[in-house]
Amino acid sequence: MASRANWAKMRVATGGGGTGTLTLEAVSGFPTFTQAFGSGSTSVAYVANGTDVREAGEGTFNGTALTIASRAVTQSWNGTTYGTSALDIPVGAEVYCDLIAQTTVTSDGNVELPGTLVEDATLPAEALAAGVLQTTEELQDSLGVPNTSGKRCELVYQFKGIANSTQVLDPKATFPYTIAKLNHEGSEALTANVRIASTSVTGLSAVAVTTSNADSTATAANVVVAGDRVTVIFTDIATTADVTLKLVVDRD
């Protein structure tokens, strides 16, 4: 999953443009991608704006080389028409983190907004404080768990720089739902324990999160009733870690 950060913006450096790897430099007054994501390699969502060209997509940012490589373009504008090809991004073009507009209505009526940044009162304050950048990748009638029985919903959380701690995924369930599985990936090996109230979800009580994306299935004690609080306990983190979780739930 591509990372995002508020206000991070750079520009294409001299000799660093084109249709391939972009080389960037700082823009005065704005955080750099390195300040947002560190000196390693991170998958980022980016928007590049030239004088006559526009491009939105995901790529691999290297915080040491200040480059964005492996550009996977979601949409581009060449000044005349829309497309999905990488454009010749000119020197001086601004490159920043932003949401990528890509809305799909599925056959069952769900609306998917990949990568949507939701800053809504329904998000738990604890999760926002911990660095959750996104949630609710698939919606039905409202943000979060859909207000329609029989629908599946995917709640995506991205935690950055967290230590061993308990994080809130749902402070108080509005509707009953069943947790089906947990998709997970981290910057290092750690353990996650998903709990409903004070009970650990069977199958998700000792999830081994690694740097590889994987799914863990909930097998019992996975029914959330209205008013329940859902949390995840992170342990075995050496110092701090970045973690992405996708909680797949079914509206009862």
SS3 36: helix
DSSP state of 37: H
pLDDT in tens, 108-159: 444 344 433 333 333 343 433 334 333 333 333 333 444 455 678 888 888 8
Closest CA to 162 of 73, 76, 56, 244: 244
DSSP state of 140: S
Distance between CA atoms of residues 108 and 54, nearest Å: 33
The pLDDT score that the predictor gives to residue 36 is 86
DSSP string, 69-131: EEEEEEEEE-SS-EESSPP-BPTT-EEE-------EE-TTS-EE-TT-----TTS-HHHHHHT
One-letter amino acid of 131:
G
The pLDDT score that the predictor gives to residue 130 is 39
Residue with tokens 């200040």: 66
The token duo for 193 is: 């324990």
One-letter amino acid of 191:
T
Predicted structure pTM score: 0.47
Distance between CA atoms of residues 10 and 246, nearest Å: 30
The pLDDT score that the predictor gives to residue 205 is 97
The pLDDT score that the predictor gives to residue 126 is 40
| Residue 200: half-sphere exposure toward Cβ, Cα within 13 Å | 11
The pLDDT score that the predictor gives to residue 98 is 65
The pLDDT score that the predictor gives to residue 93 is 94
Ranges of residues in the chain with a pLDDT under 70 are 1-5, 98-150
Closest CA to 11 of 43, 42, 51: 51
The pLDDT score that the predictor gives to residue 185 is 93
Long-range CB contacts for residues 213-216, cutoff 8 Å, separation at least 24: 213/183, 213/184, 213/185, 214/183, 214/184, 214/185, 215/181, 215/182, 215/183, 215/184, 216/181, 216/182, 216/184
The pLDDT score that the predictor gives to residue 150 is 65
pLDDT in tens, 22-40: 999 999 999 999 998 888 8
| CATH class of segment(s) 104-251 | mainly beta
The domains of the chain are located at: 9-96, 104-251
